[in-house]
């Protein structure tokens, strides 16, 4: 698969905006318009993303950041409770640390 | 998102550890998608193997197709996918309906299947699955989701409920899935099951209502081991690490 690795280090606000863009691409603008997406938004409860949508979201991170961020590997170390409660802020922090 | 064309149909495929010498291909169940493996089971197997997951037709992010849900058609699809990916033979694992596809694949294309792992494959002669189609309604989905949440801890919101409702409506009313399933009623008593020669691992939930199906298969397949894992039919969701580790050991040794 082709990857487009981002070389510029992003700050947390820029990562948040990028994640929001990915979420919009995955679940559709019409649903995102009805949501107030914040750093506290949880993937399953607030954003109502199902697992195939999280796969799609993970792919976007993989394509954007390339090898520098093993997002799927990071998720795979979480148990079901952690995955269900995962929020956007935790992901933003993880990506910021990995850059 | 890796969506590839296989004989003119769009198929969503995910691969891990592409450089590995041997491949494990994972087949998901009906009304599900490849994500059942993606986050936990596949990464365990990818420590040693090239792992391939794909969405069955009309499932996940693969193209919607109106017909061809019988096991011959589903294994034709899988065989074409292997050819497209230039994989001459793989270790194969399937869950639930994916387990039936995997059994059929081992029987029809023995040269393409090395070892076989079957997770919670139901007996197609059991009317419960077809009854679900007959009785399907939105109320049923809401009840099912509530029950599913009890065993998997996953809650479904309004958007997901609508999305799933649309998928069920499509599969139940606009495809041949029901009649195709009826045609497979005698699959477990067919001679081809007795003819499966691959080393086979059967993984079933100890409290699953499909466990009897596993016991039937154990009697019919020659080189077979049946292992019970704590859980019910949702055991890959309930015990992904155990299922992943058991398959890793089985395929490695």
Containing structural domain, residue A60: 12-98
Predicted local distance difference test score (pLDDT) of residue A5: 56
Predicted local distance difference test score (pLDDT) of residue B139: 61
d(CA B249, CA B81): 26
Predicted local distance difference test score (pLDDT) of residue A88: 95
The reply to whether A2 falls in a domain is no
Share of chain A above pLDDT 90, in %: 44
Which chain A residues are Cβ-neighbours of B15 within 8 angstroms? 1
Q: What domains are defined for chain B?
A: 3-123+186-252 (3.40.50.1820)
For chain B (253 residues), the mean pLDDT of every run of 10, in chain order, is 90 95 96 91 96 96 96 98 98 96 98 98 81 59 58 66 86 91 92 96 95 97 97 91 97 95
Predicted local distance difference test score (pLDDT) of residue B130: 62
As for how many domains chain A has, the answer is 1
Nearest CB to B159; choose among A48, A58, A83? A48
Query: Cβ–Cβ of B152/A80 closer than 8 Å?
Result: yes
Stated pTM of the model? 0.89
The reply to whether A6 falls in a domain is no
The reply to whether A4 falls in a domain is no
SS3 call for A6: coil
Share of chain A above pLDDT 70, in %: 92
Interface with chain B: mutation pick from A3, A4, A45, A48, highest number of B CBs within 10 Å: A48
The CATH number assigned to the domain holding A23 equals 1.10.1200.10
Among all residues of chain B, which has the CA nearest to that of A56? B1
Predicted local distance difference test score (pLDDT) of residue B126: 82
Q: Which of A16-20, A91-95, B88-92, B175-179 has the lowest mean pLDDT?
A: B175-179
Nearest CB to B43; choose among A45, A72, A80? A72
- Confidence band, pLDDT 50/70/90 cuts, at residue A1: very low
The reply to whether A1 falls in a domain is no
Predicted local distance difference test score (pLDDT) of residue A19: 96
Decide if the complex's ipTM is over 0.95.
no
B224 DSSP β-pair partners: B200
Predicted local distance difference test score (pLDDT) of residue A46: 87
Q: Which residues contact B104 (CB under 8 A, 6 or more apart)?
A: B71, B72, B74, B75, B187, B192
The reply to whether A83 falls in a domain is yes
Predicted local distance difference test score (pLDDT) of residue B168: 86
């Amino acid at each position: 698969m082709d990857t487009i690795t981002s070389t510029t280090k992003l700050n947390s606000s820029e990562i948040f905006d990028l994640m929001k863009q990915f979420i919009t691409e995955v679940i559709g603008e019409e649903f995102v318009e009805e949501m107030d997406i914040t750093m506290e938004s949880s993937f399953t409860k607030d954003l109502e993303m199902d697992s195939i949508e999280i796969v799609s979201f993970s792919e976007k991170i993989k394509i954007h950041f390339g090898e520098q961020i093993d997002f799927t590997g990071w998720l795979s170390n979480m148990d079901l409770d952690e995955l269900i409660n995962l929020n956007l802020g935790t992901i933003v922090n993880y990506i910021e640390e990995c850059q | 998102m890796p969506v590839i064309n296989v004989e003119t149909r769009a198929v969503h495929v995910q691969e891990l550890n592409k450089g590995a010498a041997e491949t494990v291909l994972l087949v998901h169940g009906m009304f599900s998608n490849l994500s059942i493996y993606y986050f936990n089971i596949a990464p365990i197997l990818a420590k040693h193997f090239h792992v391939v997951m794909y969405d069955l037709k009309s499932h996940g992010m693969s193209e919607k197709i109106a017909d061809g849900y019988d096991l011959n058609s589903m294994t034709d699809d899988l065989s074409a996918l292997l050819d497209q990916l230039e994989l001459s033979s793989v270790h194969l694992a399937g869950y639930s309906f994916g387990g039936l596809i995997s059994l059929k694949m081992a029987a029809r294309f023995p040269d393409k299947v090395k070892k076989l792992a079957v997770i919670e494959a139901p007996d197609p002669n059991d009317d419960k699955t077809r009854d679900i189609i007959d009785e399907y309604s939105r109320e049923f989905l809401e009840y099912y989701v509530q029950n599913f949440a009890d065993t998997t801890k996953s809650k479904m919101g309004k958007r997901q409920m609508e999305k799933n409702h649309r998928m069920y409506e499509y599969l139940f009313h606009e495809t041949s899935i029901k009649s195709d399933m009826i045609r497979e009623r005698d699959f477990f008593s067919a001679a081809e099951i007795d003819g499966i020669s691959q080393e086979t691992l059967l993984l079933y939930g100890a409290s699953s209502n499909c466990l009897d199906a596993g016991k039937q298969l154990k009697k019919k397949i020659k080189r077979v081991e049946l292992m019970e894992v704590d859980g019910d039919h949702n055991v890959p969701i309930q015990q992904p690490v155990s299922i992943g580790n058991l398959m890793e050991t089985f395929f490695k040794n």
